[in-house]
């Protein structure tokens, strides 16, 4: 199953640099074999969709409309470049909840009031959140927002001005969170991981290799015990046969 990465951001009011950064973000998402999820809207999220599609990635749109006609006419939203469009029929505000909850990771690019709502939902629900700095809007003021929110929800926020590096950091932290959810001690598994992001891919690979080796060792023990059990059963059956004879 692919990791679902949402890109939430400005539909308008951004510059060419923000558009290029968003495009590169989409490419980075596809290069890591993740699916991109957006509100099926124009603007910076659509630039990310184009980047993902040009790189062979899976693109998913969560539309506020009931159907294709409403999506394209009422909401004046694009459809080309999407592999899947989910028609929620819940309007712009309702669409935000479905979109955010469909994602494993949410990334903010630029953004105005709508993106602020999506960020708030993701933060309140303890999501892993990325912020692409240098794209303007609320993305360049997330630190201030988090400071004002002053609420522990389990959310983690990672900021970076390089889209490719941002995805690497988010992927590392996502894997770390998954391992921690399975009961593994996070600092022991990822000694280079801080509260914002894990710094070392190698540390994750080493941890996984160690766990795989331990699994193989345990499987070997189980196989040996099964052999002993089978041998014991054979002896028991032979003894039972001799007794009957």
pLDDT in tens, 201-245: 455 566 667 777 777 788 788 888 888 888 877 777 776 665 555
Contacts of 176-180 with CB under 8 Å at 24 or more apart are: 176/204, 177/128, 179/207
What is the span of the domain harbouring residue 192? 4-198
Residues 153 and 241 in one domain: no
Residues 175 and 151 in one domain: yes
For residue 120, the model assigns a pLDDT of 95
* Banded pLDDT at 35 (limits 50, 70, 90): very high
Is 125 in a helix, a strand, or coil? Answer: coil
Number of domains in the chain: 2
Name the more confident of 74 and 213.
Answer: 74
For residue 214, the model assigns a pLDDT of 74
75-102 confidence digits (pLDDT tens): 999 999 999 999 999 999 999 999 999 9
For residue 176, the model assigns a pLDDT of 86
Global confidence as pTM: 0.76
* Banded pLDDT at 191 (limits 50, 70, 90): very low
Does residue 159 contact residue 142 with C-beta atoms inside 8 Å?
A: yes
User: Is pLDDT at 27 greater than 90 in this prediction?
Assistant: yes
**d(Cα 74, Cα 137) in Å, to the nearest integer?**
25
Between 162-166, 177-181, 237-241, the lowest mean confidence (pLDDT) is in 237-241
**d(Cα 197, Cα 94) in Å, to the nearest integer?**
30
Residues 17 and 128 in one domain: yes
Contacts of 189-195 with CB under 8 Å at 24 or more apart are: 195/156
% the chain with pLDDT above 70: 87
In the beta sheet, which residues pair with residue 159? 131
The residue-averaged pLDDT of 25-36 equals 96
User: Is pLDDT at 3 greater than 80 in this prediction?
Assistant: yes
Residues 224 and 161 in one domain: no
Between 47-56, 75-84, 139-148, the lowest mean confidence (pLDDT) is in 139-148
Does residue 59 contact residue 49 with C-beta atoms inside 8 Å?
A: yes
* Environment class of 185 (CB within 10 Å of its CB; exposed 0-12, middle 13-18, buried 19+): exposed
Between 13-17, 28-32, 167-171, 216-220, the lowest mean confidence (pLDDT) is in 216-220
Residues 140 and 223 in one domain: no
Residues 11 and 104 in one domain: yes
Residues 243 and 205 in one domain: yes
Residues 59 and 99 in one domain: yes
For residue 220, the model assigns a pLDDT of 81
For residue 232, the model assigns a pLDDT of 76
Residues 111 and 228 in one domain: no
List helix spans (H) across 150-200: 163-181, 186-189
Query: For the chain, what is the mean pLDDT?
Result: 87
For residue 210, the model assigns a pLDDT of 72
Does residue 57 contact residue 50 with C-beta atoms inside 8 Å?
A: no
* Domain of residue 17, CATH code: 3.40.50.450
Residues 130 and 233 in one domain: no
Residues 110 and 210 in one domain: no
Helix (H) or strand (E) holding 28: helix 16-31
**d(Cα 27, Cα 241) in Å, to the nearest integer?**
70
Between 3-17, 72-86, 179-193, the lowest mean confidence (pLDDT) is in 179-193
Residues 192 and 226 in one domain: no
For residue 239, the model assigns a pLDDT of 65
% the chain with pLDDT above 90: 64
Asked which of 198, 213, 234 is the last residue of a domain, the reply is 198
């Amino acid at each position: 199953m692919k990791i679902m990465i949402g890109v939430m951001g400005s539909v308008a009011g951004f510059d060419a640099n923000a558009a290029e950064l968003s495009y590169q973000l989409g490419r980075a998402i596809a290069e890591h074999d993740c699916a991109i999820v957006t509100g099926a809207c124009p603007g910076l999220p659509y630039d990310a969709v184009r980047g993902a599609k040009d790189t062979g990635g899976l693109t998913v749109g969560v539309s506020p409309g009931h159907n294709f006609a409403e999506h394209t006419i009422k909401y004046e939203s694009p459809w080309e470049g999407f592999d899947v469009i989910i028609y929620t029929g819940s309007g712009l505000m309702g669409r935000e909840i479905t979109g955010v909850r469909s994602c494993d990771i949410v990334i903010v690019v630029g953004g105005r009031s709508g993106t602020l709502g999506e960020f708030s939902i993701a933060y309140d629900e303890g999501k892993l959140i990325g912020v692409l700095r240098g794209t303007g809007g609320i993305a360049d003021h997330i630190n201030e927002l988090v400071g004002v929110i002053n609420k522990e929800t389990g959310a983690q926020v990672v900021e970076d001005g390089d889209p490719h590096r941002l995805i690497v950091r988010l992927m590392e932290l996502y894997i770390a969170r998954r391992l921690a959810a399975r009961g593994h001690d996070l600092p022991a598994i990822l000694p280079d991981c801080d509260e914002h992001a894990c710094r070392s891919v190698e540390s994750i690979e080493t941890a996984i290799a160690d766990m795989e080796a331990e699994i193989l060792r345990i499987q070997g023990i189980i196989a040996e015990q099964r052999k002993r059990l089978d041998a014991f059963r054979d002896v028991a059956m032979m003894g039972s046969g001799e007794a009957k004879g």
